[in-house]
Amino acid sequence: STGYTTLDPGFVNTASTKSAITYIDGANGILRYRGYPIEQLAQKSTFIEVSYLLIYGELPTAAQLEDFTNRIRRHTMLHEDLKRFFDGFPRNAHPMPVLSSAVNALSAYYQDSLDPDDADQVELSTIRLLAKLPTIAAYAYKKSVGQPFLYPDNSLNLVENFLRMTFGFPAEPYELDPEIVKALDMLLILHADHEQNCSTSTVRLVGSSDANLFTSISGGINALWGPLHGGANQAVLEMLDRIVAEGGDSADFLRRVKNKEDGVKLMGFGHRVYKNYDPRAAIVKDTAHTILEKLGGGDQLLDIAMGLEEAALADDYFVERKLYPNVDFYTGLIYRAMGFPTRMFTVLFAMGRLPGWIAHWREMHEDPTTKIGRPRQIYTGYTERDYNDIERR
Ligand code: SDX
């Protein structure tokens, strides 16, 4: 039998930590970055400005934003040897392990910016990550489709550069669509931080050992890949495609979810913290209509998604369990309409979440009282017992 040990009085829930970066009120559907409501930032700010806000704590002046933008511009290229890194991956590799491997490899190429106690090195690794992740993400996509890599064009902003490196070709100029750039920029803002979620807690825990920023972020990318977390946006599209393939009967699908048949979940629904509508989902839903009307494609899937949402919000099973659409429910529809394959959706989530991960890692080093301590456990194993020789087992 197993004996339970009582919790020693020193047991503290080390899983929850202090932070001044993001505030979430799950019951009332509130999300604020450094005090600014997500609705205002999504409407008025840009992803690079929000990245500055999350990392340095204040909205930048025009001069600060220009300096930040220029410092990032100078680091968008990868080391030529790191580019060859992609040759080693199979073409059908999912881009998330490619992303986390390449980001971790930055620790090997940029050994002059690994010391978490050196402010200049922390700043340099921050800028290098913000600049290079979009390039690595675009190359992961190009590798998967067997097309040539494009060098960054630093006359473009971060999002424009990423779209051009992803969908452009060396042989012809790439036509940027301002509406697509703006929609993707806004989606990256919505994903930029979210308090102590699974991947951010992973970044903090890895970083709490004084592991460098590159390797800590690589850990966060791996955690994000899980379908219950960042992988959900891919899982939502796979769910919608499955409903279409099985005849498009949403009611039957919801019945199977409620019966918990073979682990079927309503992906993109539910949240560990939001027990009300995820404020990001409301913003994304509006954008989905605009973009899908503009780009077409996905209308049937959007109709099914809206049908599922309407039925679930009126169904006691979901209402009683406080299951509402989260940020992942609609984002995949937009990414798909933009031309991204389903497997790139979580890569886009990682691109958005990067400034938040960096902000949390830096906060932990700037204020050690915000460090996630060594988690303790409630031991439920055997009490002490003596070794018995194999002859007597
Ligand atoms: C993200 O933490 C963050 O902030 C994450 C994130 C971020 O920005 O970083 O917001 C991003 O990860 C959003 C979540 C994306 N994941 C999904 O959409 C996957 C589907 N969702 C579920 O896996 C689930 O809702 C969770 C994991 C997100 C949250 O689970 P909870 O709130 O802890 O609920 P639970 O697992 O304890 O389940 C409670 C009940 C159970 O039913 P009963 O056992 O009571 O009968 O609700 C059911 C669950 O079976 N349930 C679902 C469901 N989610 C929970 N049933 C059907 N479909 C679902 N999606």
pLDDT in tens, 135-191: 999 999 999 999 999 999 999 999 999 999 999 999 999 999 999 999 999 999 999
Coil, strand, or helix at residue 224? Answer: helix
Q: pTM of the predicted model, to two decimals?
A: 0.92
Give Cα 144 distance to the centre of its chain.
20
ipTM of the complex: 0.94
pLDDT the model gives residue 2: 44
Name the pLDDT band for 226 (thresholds 50, 70, 90): very high
Where does the chain have alpha helices with state H?
Answer: 38-44, 47-56, 62-73, 80-84, 95-109, 119-145, 158-167, 178-190, 198-207, 213-224, 232-245, 250-258, 279-295, 299-313, 316-320, 328-338, 345-366
pLDDT the model gives residue 7: 45
List the residue whose alpha carbon is closest to atom 28 of ligand 1. 271
Name the pLDDT band for 56 (thresholds 50, 70, 90): very high
List the residue whose alpha carbon is closest to atom 1 of ligand 1. 229
Active site residue 94: no
Q: Are strands 22-25 and 36-37 parallel, antiparallel or unpaired?
A: unpaired
Angle between helices 95-109 and 345-366 (to 10 degrees): 40
Q: CA-CA distances (angstroms) from residue 241 to 63, 117, 245?
A: 47, 48, 6
Q: Is the pLDDT of residue 299 over 80?
A: no
Give the residue from 302, 277, 305, 308 showing the smallest Cα distance to 289.
302
pLDDT the model gives residue 262: 80
For the ranges 231-240, 286-295, 303-312, 364-373, the lowest mean pLDDT is seen at 286-295
Active site residue 87: no
Cβ proximity of 374 and 334 under 8 Å: no
Q: Which listed residue (75, 194, 271, 360) is catalytic? A: 271
Coil, strand, or helix at residue 264? Answer: coil
DSSP state of 87: G
Quick check: CB of 228 below 6 Å from ligand 1?
Answer: yes
